[in-house]
Chain A
């Protein structure tokens, strides 16, 4: 039976259904379309579009595979039939306690044991996308605003605003201080919202930052925490790249800062985490909210009934992550490989005459192409982006889709491809830069 296509559907849909806030028509997603139509393949399509706009981690996949092969109990039903019963019937939105414990312990491992996490405060969601939206539903009403430092992950426009009706007011950061968040910028954003009669309910930071690929320093975290305390608003720290920091000592989680403050004011703080980036398992749809606020935990848990993780997946990951030896090994090796990739791309770009922001984390680098712009404007940047996409056949993300205040910056992902593909991409960039010079 085919769906009838009518000229004008006689029955109306909602504003949410009709709105463009899902953002799928922006350049960020348009590049993906070009890639889908002509995807690069080492063998069959070596001149296709190389996808450098997708922050996916494929560098440590073999470690996961190896683990699963050796530990078949993870992928069956908990030691045969009896385990299945518990798994299958555990439809509780509290989630398997073994999995929550495993998540808490993994989060501790990533932070080198510098912060403790209580499994009772772990709320499970189907991905960080759902976690961020859920928290927004809880801490803000429609028409309220969250302050988010720019540049930020383009998906926030959708995740934080679409169904929630909440607004984003940007905390403008710029290259003069490496895009770090300052108290002045926080105050300015707050005042801007106030002048528009919009109530600010919280600040949402990503640490390490997407798209900057850099961690937030301890002193900046302290400033942000002081600011949110002063204004009595929430602080959401999206730490989904925390396991992808190249050097463990360089990452400070807001959890550590809170611990040092003896949890004073912690009921305003919530952490979002996911296994999509660090473990390279975006298909598994595993996210968590960790909140220091009891009300938020209780509410989030009930709301998570709309975004559940299957108990089978929980069981599998519980086995894997509570294996401390494996978890430790994985995190170490993953970090080292990412660092290698990062250094390769930075060196490669540098030798082509392109500089990047000094980064220390994540699956991407923040590239500065402003010297190449014809006009130092958003249009100039989009022109350059189109050139990169159609001439060099590289899909990279323009800074304007990340709401960057300065044109010419681009996010380039390096972890979702083989080493060979990365070389091909760098080669294309070299050729292009040589061409420009002549």
Chain B
């Protein structure tokens, strides 16, 4: 699931040294093995286990890498007090208005220390996503006023149902916030930090509606917060300590790098999925990643997945979710499932983790769901995220943590009205899905005409496209070159697979929900020009 935010500067773990091959790891040591072996395997043989002929050279290569890596100077991991530098190097490109430029490296003349996290966060400002975002903001496409501007295909700005919501707001907006007596009383004072009960009830009902009644969500298991990022971060703090790790199948939504890791100090250990399997969930990959973590002495606390998967857009089926739950039970770890309901199925077959958790005799206390209302309801300016947990201790802990990210009460009141208007919600769900379906099909077809195949998911507001045929060198570098061409020549901002930690270069995520029907042909036209120049070269 994609989160909707401008100027996002998410990148793979910035402490990593630059990698020669596609990165699939944000950890040290064992990750090196993954980086080397799997791409080679992908080249040599698409399926099946390791072939001896590739094992030996891989092993040799692995040891060489390890040797080289050990002898390179390494930066220490961020939350480590003993290694934080007294003075941090100046970050290029920042304005210096009131602050003085202190050039001496140490001592009272230097600037006051900032935490290890800060550098990582500032460095992420140089990631492709940030650069692209900046360009987009400076030169935003507008049908009338700026037809040559950059078109946003990098974020799931859900404009699909925006007009529906807008009309509702115009008709009902005013009275809703101020209430019948046109008064703000009752919403100005301190409210329960985890959200008004009436809103939780309304959200639970809406979530149920969106899954067509397959699950009955319990309001007392809900904690409301300011967006999916806050919800994911909160769960990260609840179930893992700094230095622990989460297993995350790759490719994954780049915002996980921030939400799961930034402030919590928790690591992500990738479990790579491959195009040969349709990038589907692989318990084998998870198991391998778990063992590697164990070898390094890193404690794995949980698995984090998206449903539908982001960026791939596929919907894990019942079996896949069962095996995931089995695996988590066997290892005694948690599962965090980031779900999107309305925008998730314009085809068929969305299955919420909640339904699976309820249906069998699983230990549900390890299952936690994050749901972003704003993702589904085009209300991204309102930023509402839901933590839904089957573990009462996690709910209790989250209720205490949510004081740092509590939703504004007037907003809650508006949402109560919106969500309890069942005529609206039913209509909205139906129409949004229909539009998404059309959009998705149109987009996939358009790409097909250009010779670009997509992983056809029935879920999500994006396409996961294989553009490896258009890249010069089958590498992350080649991919980023294409990404740059797409941004600067075709003027479309897309998400390259490398920042989603995809181990196979050349995949790109296109979010189409920010487009209107008219925009799609324009996008295809621009893509075609780039595609032609790429093909003519090879």
When the two chains form their complex, are residues A310 and B411 in contact, meaning their CB atoms are under 8 A apart?
Answer: yes
A13 with B113, Cβ < 8 A, contacts A88-B162, A294-B95 known: no
When the two chains form their complex, are residues B227 and A137 in contact, meaning their CB atoms are under 8 A apart?
Answer: no
When the two chains form their complex, are residues A13 and B166 in contact, meaning their CB atoms are under 8 A apart?
Answer: no
List 15 A–B pairs whose Cβ atoms lie within 8 Å, in order of A's numbering.
A4-B364, A84-B169, A88-B378, A89-B380, A127-B403, A129-B403, A163-B263, A233-B112, A282-B188, A286-B408, A292-B99, A306-B263, A306-B404, A308-B230, A310-B226
**Neighbour of B383 across the interface among A77, A284, A308, CB < 8 A:** A308
| Stretch of A37-45, A63-71, A217-225, A241-249 on the interface side | A63-71
**Neighbour of A1 across the interface among B174, B227, B239, B358, CB < 8 A:** B358
Beta-carbon nearest neighbor of A297 in chain B:
B94
- CB 8 Å contact bits of A361-396 with B (1 = contact, 0 = none): 000000000000000000000000000000000000
When the two chains form their complex, are residues A285 and B407 in contact, meaning their CB atoms are under 8 A apart?
Answer: yes
Which of B107, B258, B358, B383 counts the most A-chain CB atoms under 10 A from its CB?
B383
Taken together as a complex, chains A and B put the C-alpha atoms of A313 and B19 apart, in Å, by: 44
When the two chains form their complex, are residues A312 and B408 in contact, meaning their CB atoms are under 8 A apart?
Answer: yes
When the two chains form their complex, are residues B97 and A81 in contact, meaning their CB atoms are under 8 A apart?
Answer: no
Taken together as a complex, chains A and B put the C-alpha atoms of A292 and B112 apart, in Å, by: 12
When the two chains form their complex, are residues A232 and B162 in contact, meaning their CB atoms are under 8 A apart?
Answer: no
Taken together as a complex, chains A and B put the C-alpha atoms of A266 and B100 apart, in Å, by: 9
Which of A1, A11, A87, A141 counts the most B-chain CB atoms under 10 A from its CB?
A11
Beta-carbon nearest neighbor of B84 in chain A:
A141
When the two chains form their complex, are residues B96 and A268 in contact, meaning their CB atoms are under 8 A apart?
Answer: no
A351 at the interface (CB under 8 A from B): no
B431 at the interface (CB under 8 A from A): no
Nearest Cβ in chain A — how far from B401, in angstroms? 7
When the two chains form their complex, are residues B188 and A3 in contact, meaning their CB atoms are under 8 A apart?
Answer: no
Residues in A neighbouring B239, C-beta threshold 8 A: 12-14, 17
- CB 8 Å contact bits of A284-296 with B (1 = contact, 0 = none): 1110000011111
A299 at the interface (CB under 8 A from B): yes
B240 at the interface (CB under 8 A from A): yes
When the two chains form their complex, are residues A232 and B190 in contact, meaning their CB atoms are under 8 A apart?
Answer: no
When the two chains form their complex, are residues B170 and A91 in contact, meaning their CB atoms are under 8 A apart?
Answer: no
A428 at the interface (CB under 8 A from B): no
- CB 8 Å contact bits of A110-146 with B (1 = contact, 0 = none): 0000000000000000110110010001111111100
> Known pairs A302-B124, A310-B226. 19 more at Cβ < 8 A?
A3-B390, A3-B395, A13-B391, A14-B238, A16-B397, A17-B238, A77-B170, A77-B173, A89-B159, A129-B404, A142-B81, A266-B98, A294-B97, A294-B99, A295-B94, A305-B227, A310-B407, A311-B382, A312-B382
When the two chains form their complex, are residues B178 and A68 in contact, meaning their CB atoms are under 8 A apart?
Answer: yes
A280 at the interface (CB under 8 A from B): yes
Residues in B neighbouring A61, C-beta threshold 8 A: 185, 188
When the two chains form their complex, are residues B114 and A299 in contact, meaning their CB atoms are under 8 A apart?
Answer: yes
B191 at the interface (CB under 8 A from A): yes
Taken together as a complex, chains A and B put the C-alpha atoms of A141 and B80 apart, in Å, by: 7
A182 at the interface (CB under 8 A from B): no
| Stretch of B213-221, B303-311, B475-483 on the interface side | B213-221
A92 at the interface (CB under 8 A from B): yes
- CB 8 Å contact bits of B248-283 with A (1 = contact, 0 = none): 000000000011001111000000000000000000
Nearest Cβ in chain B — how far from A390, in angstroms? 24
B288 at the interface (CB under 8 A from A): no
Residues in B neighbouring A81, C-beta threshold 8 A: 166-167, 170
B199-227: which have CB < 8 Å to A? 216, 218, 220-221, 226-227
Nearest Cβ in chain A — how far from B423, in angstroms? 20
A234 at the interface (CB under 8 A from B): yes
**Neighbour of B98 across the interface among A139, A263, A285, CB < 8 A:** A263
Residues in A neighbouring B110, C-beta threshold 8 A: 232
Beta-carbon nearest neighbor of B187 in chain A:
A283
Residues in B neighbouring A12, C-beta threshold 8 A: 239, 301, 332
B456 at the interface (CB under 8 A from A): no
A312 with B184, Cβ < 8 A, contacts A17-B237, A17-B239 known: no
Taken together as a complex, chains A and B put the C-alpha atoms of A24 and B396 apart, in Å, by: 12
When the two chains form their complex, are residues A138 and B4 in contact, meaning their CB atoms are under 8 A apart?
Answer: no
When the two chains form their complex, are residues B410 and A130 in contact, meaning their CB atoms are under 8 A apart?
Answer: no
Taken together as a complex, chains A and B put the C-alpha atoms of A312 and B187 apart, in Å, by: 14
Beta-carbon nearest neighbor of B137 in chain A:
A92
A234 with B112, Cβ < 8 A, contacts A5-B392, A11-B391, A92-B5 known: yes
When the two chains form their complex, are residues B229 and A306 in contact, meaning their CB atoms are under 8 A apart?
Answer: yes
Beta-carbon nearest neighbor of A75 in chain B:
B177
Taken together as a complex, chains A and B put the C-alpha atoms of A108 and B244 apart, in Å, by: 45
Taken together as a complex, chains A and B put the C-alpha atoms of A310 and B400 apart, in Å, by: 21
9 closest A-B pairs by beta carbon, nearest first, are: A311-B381, A267-B99, A283-B409, A17-B397, A92-B6, A91-B380, A313-B408, A310-B411, A88-B381
When the two chains form their complex, are residues A9 and B6 in contact, meaning their CB atoms are under 8 A apart?
Answer: no
When the two chains form their complex, are residues A143 and B363 in contact, meaning their CB atoms are under 8 A apart?
Answer: no
Taken together as a complex, chains A and B put the C-alpha atoms of A286 and B226 apart, in Å, by: 12
Residues in A neighbouring B5, C-beta threshold 8 A: 91-93, 305
Residues in A neighbouring B7, C-beta threshold 8 A: 92-94
A281 at the interface (CB under 8 A from B): yes
Taken together as a complex, chains A and B put the C-alpha atoms of A61 and B167 apart, in Å, by: 31
Which of A10, A89, A231 counts the most B-chain CB atoms under 10 A from its CB?
A89
A40-68: which have CB < 8 Å to B? 54, 56, 58, 61, 64-65, 68
Beta-carbon nearest neighbor of A306 in chain B:
B230
B392-423: which have CB < 8 Å to A? 392-395, 397, 400-401, 403-411, 414
Residues in B neighbouring A89, C-beta threshold 8 A: 157, 159, 162, 380-381
When the two chains form their complex, are residues B237 and A16 in contact, meaning their CB atoms are under 8 A apart?
Answer: yes
**Neighbour of A84 across the interface among B91, B113, B166, B332, CB < 8 A:** B166
A76 at the interface (CB under 8 A from B): yes
**Neighbour of A283 across the interface among B4, B177, B189, CB < 8 A:** B189
Nearest Cβ in chain B — how far from A58, in angstroms? 7
Residues in A neighbouring B8, C-beta threshold 8 A: 305
A282 with B381, Cβ < 8 A, contacts A3-B221, A11-B363, A14-B240 known: no
When the two chains form their complex, are residues B400 and A24 in contact, meaning their CB atoms are under 8 A apart?
Answer: yes
A85 at the interface (CB under 8 A from B): yes
B115 at the interface (CB under 8 A from A): yes
Residues in B neighbouring A10, C-beta threshold 8 A: 332, 363, 365-366
A201 at the interface (CB under 8 A from B): yes
**Neighbour of A91 across the interface among B221, B237, B366, B383, CB < 8 A:** B383
Residues in A neighbouring B394, C-beta threshold 8 A: 13, 17
A199 at the interface (CB under 8 A from B): yes
Residues in B neighbouring A144, C-beta threshold 8 A: 81, 115
- CB 8 Å contact bits of B229-247 with A (1 = contact, 0 = none): 1100100011111101000
Taken together as a complex, chains A and B put the C-alpha atoms of A126 and B229 apart, in Å, by: 14
Residues in A neighbouring B358, C-beta threshold 8 A: 1
**Neighbour of B258 across the interface among A90, A233, A305, CB < 8 A:** A305
B146-205: which have CB < 8 Å to A? 157, 159, 162, 165-167, 169-170, 173-174, 177-178, 182-185, 187-191
Which of A64, A88, A202, A282 counts the most B-chain CB atoms under 10 A from its CB?
A88
Beta-carbon nearest neighbor of A5 in chain B:
B392
Residues in B neighbouring A24, C-beta threshold 8 A: 400
A72 at the interface (CB under 8 A from B): yes
